Amino acid sequence: MNAYIFPGQGAQFVGMGLDLYENHSTAQELFEKANGILGFSITDIMFEGTPEDLKQTKVTQPAIFLHSVILSKVLGDSFKPDMVAGHSLGEFSALVANGTLTFEDGLKLVSQRALAMQKACELKPSTMAAVLGLEDGVVEKICAEVDGVVVPANYNCPGQLVISGEVDAVNVACEKLKEAGARRALLLPVGGAFHSPLMEPAREELAAAIEGTQFGTPSCPIYQNVTTTAVSNADEIKKNLILQLTAPVKWTQSVQQMVQDGAKTFVEVGPGKVLQGLVKKISPDAETASAAV
């Protein structure tokens, strides 16, 4: 079975999507439509902006979504997923790719999500850190013992976990994790504590937008970050999407479940190859590829 996977924030690069825009009329049409929906020229930033401009959450999230979704549309009939999954933001790209959301609604939700997250970040100094070389259980235990808010946020692959929370709590946790034998515990250049309780204001804001959006019947199941299992029911997909902002991204567990359910090939749709690397560490026998036109 073929699993199509969609990357999240961090995969962006200047020039992303330009080849699609220049070589495919469908892509050009959708990029121009996106500029209209967003009310600014995101293509200018994607194609020839600075890395600094592209790094702003309100730009990064729609940019990665557009690259992934437009690539899936340009693939046409050769895009035949048996299952899909997306890492964090990538879950929205996956839901447009499998027909649950329209292109327009998906983009509006991603834009609202990005702005809501940006706002939540500004309310309290917060950050994230990558922890390498420790068992998940050890990381969970240390986070639970630290005063203040610090939680596991991304289960990326065995031995690679991202924690998220208040700046002081994350710093204390990093020291304790190093003492416990972590190979590295390093702060990430992000503007806030994504996938932690500190995203509650953003979750509430996004919940209203999601509830007001029409979700259709997907062409194939999505393995969601919150549940890690195959979901095809529109109401359930909505509920999990709302929970996602304050809950951890269980990528390791999702990939393991997809393999168990018959996934043999994982095709990454969008910028970069980060997810392919993670899949290989989770399931060394799985085949991986980048979607290409």
Q: Supply the pLDDT for residue 293.
A: 86
The pLDDT tens digits along the chain (293 residues) read 999 999 998 899 999 999 999 999 999 999 999 999 999 999 999 999 999 999 888 899 999 999 999 999 999 999 999 999 999 999 999 999 999 999 999 999 999 999 999 999 989 889 999 999 999 999 999 999 999 999 999 999 999 999 999 999 999 999 999 999 999 999 998 878 999 999 999 999 999 999 999 999 999 999 999 999 999 999 999 999 999 999 999 999 999 999 999 999 999 999 999 999 999 999 999 999 999 98
pLDDT reported for residue 163:
98
DSSP, collapsed to helix, strand or coil, labels residue 285 as: coil
Residue 261: φ, ψ to 5°: -85, 5
Query: Is 225 in contact with 91 (CB distance < 8 Å)?
Result: yes
Residue 80 to residue 61: CA distance in whole angstroms: 25
Asked whether the beta carbons of 88 and 154 are under 8 A apart, the reply is yes
What 3-state DSSP class applies to 153?
Answer: strand
Q: Which of 279, 280, 255, 258 is nearest to 1 (CA)?
A: 258
In CATH terms, the superfamily for domain 2-122+197-290 is Malonyl-Coenzyme A Acyl Carrier Protein, domain 2 (3.40.366.10)
pTM of the prediction?
Answer: 0.96
Helix runs in the chain, H state only: 18-23, 25-38, 42-48, 51-55, 57-75, 90-97, 103-123, 136-145, 167-179, 200-211, 234-243, 251-260, 274-282
Contact 22, 46 (CB under 8 A): no
SS3 state at 157: strand
| Catalytic annotation present for 24 | no
Q: Enter the CATH code of domain 123-188.
A: 3.30.70.250
DSSP state of 90: H
Let me know the angle formed at the C-alpha of 7 by 288 and 130, rounded to the nearest 5 degrees. Answer: 100
DSSP state of 88: T
- Among the listed residues 195, 196, 254, 283, the single catalytic one is 195
Q: Is 195 a catalytic residue?
A: yes
151, with CB counted inside 10 A (0-12, 13-18, 19+), is buried
Domain ranges across the chain: 2-122+197-290, 123-188
On whether the CB atoms of residues 201 and 181 are closer than 8 A, the answer is: no
Q: Which residues pair with 132 in a beta bridge?
A: 160, 184
User: Which residue is catalytic, options 68, 72, 88, 111?
Assistant: 88
